[in-house]
Structure 1
Amino acid sequence: MRHLPSILLRLLATSMAIFPAAAFADNSVAISGATLVNKGLVGVGRIPANQRDKFGETFGSGSGMAMNPADWSRDGNSYKGTMLLLPDRGYNVAGTTDYRPRLNMLSIRFTPVAPGATPSADKQQSGVEAALTDTLLLVDDKGADTTGLDPQSDVRAAAGDFPMLPQAANGKISLDNEAIVRLADGTMFISDEYGPNIYRFSAEGRMISATQPPAALVPMRHGKANFSSNNPGPGAQAPDPKDPDTGRQNNQGLEGMALTPDGKFLIAVLQSAARQDGGDSSSTRQNTRALVYDAADPAHLKLVHEYVVPLPVFTNAKGKKAVAAQSEIVALSDKAFLMLARDSGNGYGLDGDTSLYRNITVVDTSAATDIAGSGFDADKAVAPKGVLDPSITPAKLTPFIDINDNANLSRFGLHNGAPNDRNNLSEKWEAMALVSVLDPKLPDDYFLFVGNDNDFLTQDGFQVGASYKAEGGADVDTMFQVFQVTIPGLHK
């Protein structure tokens, strides 16, 4: 794939500034001569909640997702390929466990319906067939196991090309993985929440480099780096204070990450604002940051741009302003990306049944202020108490796909809201990947795969040597929704 044409990006910025989102149909974003179109859901699939991985432990699901474009192929009306699905730090109820971070490989067969069509009742949720083919453990640079345990106050000192790293009390490097990018040589970038760092792993799962974000995003307590997320393991103590003084908020790390279509830049986005930027309150955490790295040397990423991204806001069930934290991105160029943002606390497996916000938005940074290397990367707040510094122009957002659209969901037997059954969307939708429809008549059409994170919720679970039943009695399947979209300019 290549860049969106520069003229398209300029038109994108202009159209977003001139035309309010309400001026467009719900399924498209007009861009003064070009249109990004959401043609709606064309397929749904499930993996049972009690699926076990290669090591006999509960599969979990998707905090991150990557497709291998080299083996994506079409066979008549069906497609097949390989998906990498990245779980996070394991099943957590009373704190974290010594779960070994890993990556699952899936064989995918996808048979879409035509846009707008309704599948027969017996095929509503079988359009995506996913079969586990392998599970890869992620180990550190010395070949030792890593862990999902909260790192508390432990730090592995910087050495060689590696920066200081989060380390659990058992001496293992702590990882809470959130997003994955597969490179053409089989190596992988994986972003996490503890650091929040970007790691590079070999195709065999061995850590080969690590990139620390700007100092402003490193979590600090009492003047020292402290990577705890306030989820202590068995018998461990909570951090003091429970929240960082500055840097990323607990459990709000580099949730979204993607490589630009030309392979030149890696974009990573913090889930919500850093503590000093309003991230100390759920109502003021709107101004997060997008980091753009030159990826010419994958072993030594170079920060070249950084922008403020104003997360979407909505009115919650109590009538108060709330911020929708972002969960994943797909890069369209070094100046534009799709961003999935959502609310929390609602969906199958939880007490709340109706989500008020789950949307995939177009983010344009072409007119935003570049703050890379400035005082904002040190000790100057971007948005103290949530109020954006007047010297900064943020990125522009335009809604694109409403994941909660019941008219769309109902064609596949799904819904958002009551009844809170297995066909109600689960809370967390956190993974995205884009692949071509491979149709010469539709050269700008793609399938956008969107996956959930089921938090390992099952009544037949097994992890870290013990069986478990998730609280609440639900079996939350791993699920995939696939949208067909038109994005001009993304030809291979």
Structure 2
Amino acid sequence: MKHAMSSLPRIAAAVLFTATTVATLPLHAAPLTVNGTTFELQGLVGVGRLPANLVDEHGETFGSVSGLFADTSAWTRSGDTYSGIFYTTPDRGYNAVGTIDYTARLNQLAVSFTPAPVGASGLPQNQIQLTLTQATKLYEALPGGGKLDISGLDPVPGGLAAGGARAATGLLPELPQAYNGKLALDAEGVVKLSDGSRLISDEYGPSIYRFSADGQFLGALPVAESVRPIRNGVTDYSSNNPAAGQPAPVPANPSFGRQNNQGFEGLSISPDGKTLFVGLQSATRQDGGTGGTAATRDNTRLFTYDLSNPDDITLTGEYVVQLPKFTQNGQTLVAAQSEIHALSDSQLLILPRDSNGFAVGTEQSFLRRVDVIDISDATNILGQSYEGTVAPGGVLDPQIIPALYAPFLDVNDNSQLNRFGLANGNIPGFDNLSEKWEGLALVSALDPEHPNDYFLIIANDNDFMTTQGFQAGEAYDAGVDIDTTFLAYRVTISPVPEPSAALMMLAGLAGILGALRTRRRGGSTHPALSSGYSGAA
């Protein structure tokens, strides 16, 4: 197999890598091996942009990418060009002074992608052609045939008694509510289920909503009590971003549960369609999440749901993921995660980042990556006596084993970015990457000669930043134009030989080599990346 197992030294490297602590090894080690799967970066092969002033079919400013889902059933190849459909979620709308009554929606993009050669330079930023084809508003159906839009407004402080929540029913959990009676949704991740319905994760609850293909609210999933925000002894969903004229919560921050604006940022389904993964952006308040980029907010949580019965989706797991730290101006900070993508029922890609980029912070990012996590040996804390608080003061309870974490792809690598006129930081003649990268998808290269090659797609969230904006009936000028940008990397993700076979090869046992059969995890290919994966719905 090309890239992963082309020579004896590479096999040896893979074995040694597996035997050591994966997370301590350098980025771009070739190959990176995590529990029997190799990951190898070929290079950045495509860039695409949508202008900051793009408007949707409703005449409102396009909301960029807070969540990204590639419909792999529609992914095709003709010659050197690929075509497909991406679904994206914008978040709660442009926030000038607090939140606005922006109607939540799901956007659809038509994609045409002609990769550039690996290693080529002096390239334009047009390999990924994107067209906004649909913006489906999300709504509740009312008796009599009416509709009530889902809103981006901050929930009312005080919870249920103050009108800031809808009471739980036999079919629904308690859900956040805005002052105008609309369900409140700060949309992030998105996935498409086998029946065509969509799940969208939310920062406020944090919640997981279910919608039909035409945007009708169908329900919501149960959520662990460990992440529900508590103020003054009651569940209070306000994120301290009230609309103009509305009250702010007191105190500003919850004492327990998710931090303000740090909810369910990541959402993904295993390729077999049986497991839903949901990732909290950073640690809960009780686990050292003291707000901002504090050095103690690294112990975040990853949840699993059983999707085998779409009419009865159940919470099955809760795991600790330790986010990476970095140093900025002498201060140790944590890079919160902005998206996840499942490769199997135990292994995922994760996108951690700092808060720097074009027109924001230092403008040069210190950490912006795609890494690998594996929960095969991690402790399932769901239902355990210590589930509520697992890392007081940011120190993980020693009886809990966190997910295995391995660095993989450095998005800030200027040797890759510069080839397309991009950069991390202010470099004359290059376009600086924006701050928020929140979309992650994986599609097959559909290459018979290299069946384990994929395109890893990363996209930014521009936060509706444009000098020509229009939302909720009003024009606005954000003072800067930030385009929506997509990056495409070619990667190889494949199984490796079992260590014993490779060691015998190293010992020169040629006779035994002929009798050995290479055992691959989950069969002839990685279970998440079999030929069926690229065609899954």
After superposition, the Cα gap between the structure-2 partners of 1:420 and 1:311, relative to the gap in structure 1 and judged at 3 Å, is farther
Give the counterpart letter for 1:49 in structure 2: A
* Offset at residue 117 of structure 1 (A): 2.2
Q: Report 1:241-252 matches (<5 A).
A: 241-252=251-262
Q: How does 1:8-19 map to 2 (within 5 A)?
A: 15=18, 17-19=20-22
| Corresponding residue number in structure 2 for 1:68 | 71
- Compute the displacement of 1:31 (Å): 4.5
Greater shift, 183-192 or 171-180, is seen at: 183-192
What amino acid maps onto 1:320 in structure 2? Q
* Residue identity matched to 2:486: F
Quickly say closer, same or farther: Cα 1:101–1:23, change in 2 above 3 A.
closer
Aligned equivalents of 1:478, 1:463: Cα separation in 2: 17
Equivalences for residues 423-442 of structure 1 within 5 A? 423-442=431-450
**Partner in structure 2 of residue 3 of structure 1:** none
Which blocks of at least 5 consecutive residues in structure 2 are unaligned? 1-13, 158-163, 495-525, 533-537
Aligned residue in 2 for 1:168:
178
- Name the counterpart of 1:135: 135
In the TM superposition, residue 352 of structure 1 has moved relative to its aligned partner by 2.2
Choose the corresponding residue for 1:365, options 363, 375, 397.
375
Alpha-carbon contact 1:27-1:400 (below 8 Å) kept: no
- Please report the TM-score for the alignment, with normalisation by the length of structure 1: 0.93
Once the two structures are superposed, the pairs formed by residues 42-57 of structure 1 within 5 Å of their partners are 42-57=45-60
Structure 2 distance, partners of 1:45, 1:209, is 35
Instruction: Give the corresponding residue for 1:4.
Output: none
1:221 and 2:218 correspond? no
> Aligned letter for 1:481?
L
Are the equivalent residues in 2 in contact too, given 1:211–1:300 (CA < 8 A)? no
Residue pair 1:53, 1:132 contacting (<8 A) in 2 also: yes
Alignment correspondent of 2:151? 147
Kindly state the Cα deviation for residue 295 of structure 1 after the two structures are TM-superposed. Answer: 0.9
- In structure 1, the residue matched to 2:126 is 126
Q: Using the alignment, how far apart are the partners of 1:27 and 1:461 within structure 2?
A: 45
Query: Which ranges in structure 1 are unaligned for 5 or more consecutive residues?
Result: 1-10
Task: Give a deviation string over 1:240-282, Cα, whole Å, max 9, x none.
Answer: 1110110000000010110001110000010000100111242
Relative to structure 1, the CA distance from residue 18 to residue 347 in structure 2 (aligned partners, 3 Å threshold; closer, same or farther) is closer
1:340 paired residue number: 351
Measure, in 1, the Cα distance between the counterparts of 2:480 and 2:429: 9
Contact map agreement 1:43 1:125 (CA 8 A) in 2: yes
How far, CA to CA, are the matches of 2:20 and 2:190 in structure 1?
32
List per-residue Cα deviations over 1:374-430 (Å, max 9, x = no partner): 1234xx410001011111111111111000000000011000011488810000000
Q: Indicate the residue corresponding to 1:296 in structure 2.
A: 308
1:268-309 Cα shifts (integer Å, max 9, x gaps): 010000100111242210100110111112343212121100
Q: CA deviation at 1:94?
A: 1.3
d(CA) in 1 for partners of 2:386 and 2:15?
A: 27
SS at match of 2:423: coil
Residue aligning to 2:333: 322
Task: For residue 149 of structure 2, give the secondary structure of its aligned residue in structure 1.
Answer: coil
Alignment: residue pair count: 473
Which amino acid is the alignment partner of residue 482 of structure 1?
A: A
What residue in structure 1 maps to residue 521 of structure 2? none
Cα RMSD (Å) of the superposition?
1.9
Secondary structure (helix, strand or coil) at the match of 1:410 reads helix
Query: What's 2:421 paired with?
Result: 413
Q: Residues 186-335 of structure 1 correspond to what in structure 2 (within 5 A)?
A: 186-281=196-291, 282-316=294-328, 318-335=329-346
3-state SS, counterpart of residue 250 of structure 1: coil
Describe the superposition over 1:192-222 as per-residue Cα deviations: whole angstroms up to 9, x where unpaired: 0001011111111111120132111101111
The one-letter code of the counterpart of 2:320 is V
Q: Does 1:482 align with 2:488?
A: yes
**3-state secondary structure, aligned to 2:340:** strand
Q: Give yes or no for contact 1:16–1:397 (8 Å, CA) kept in 2.
A: no
Higher mean displacement: 169-178 or 149-158: 149-158
Q: Following the alignment from structure 1 to structure 2, what is the Cα–Cα distance between the partners of residues 385 and 421?
A: 45
Aligned-partner Cα distance in 2 for 1:279–1:449: 30
**Cα pair distance change 1:236/1:420, threshold 3 Å:** farther
Sort the Cα spacing of 1:307 and 1:320 in 2 relative to 1 into closer, same or farther, 3 A.
same
Greater gyration radius: 2
SS in 2 for 1:276: helix
Q: Match of 2:431, SS?
A: coil
Match of 1:352 in 2: 362
Instruction: State the partner residue of 2:515.
Output: none
| Aligned residue identity for 1:52 | V
2:174 aligned partner, one-letter code: M
Q: 2: CA distance between counterparts of 1:251 and 1:33?
A: 36
CA contact (8 A) 1:99 1:463 kept: yes
Contact 1:177-1:191 at 8 Å conserved across structures: yes
Distance across 2 between alignment mates of 1:384 and 1:411: 45
Conserved 8 A contact 1:104-1:135:
yes
Which residue type is aligned with residue 323 of structure 1?
V
**C-alpha distance in structure 1 between counterparts of 2:326 and 2:19, whole Å:** 19
Q: Secondary structure of the equivalent of 2:386?
A: helix
Q: Which residue of 2 aligns with 1:390?
A: 398
Answer whether contact 2:351 2:369 (CA < 8 A) is retained.
Answer: yes
Determine if the alignment matches structure 1 residue 110 to structure 2 residue 113.
yes
Q: Provide the rounded CA distance (Å) in 1 between the counterparts of 2:345 and 2:15.
A: 14
Between the aligned partners of 2:407 and 2:118, the Cα distance in structure 1 is: 20
Partner amino acid, structure 2, of 1:228: S
Q: Which amino acid aligns with 1:319?
A: G
What TM-score, normalized to structure 2? 0.85
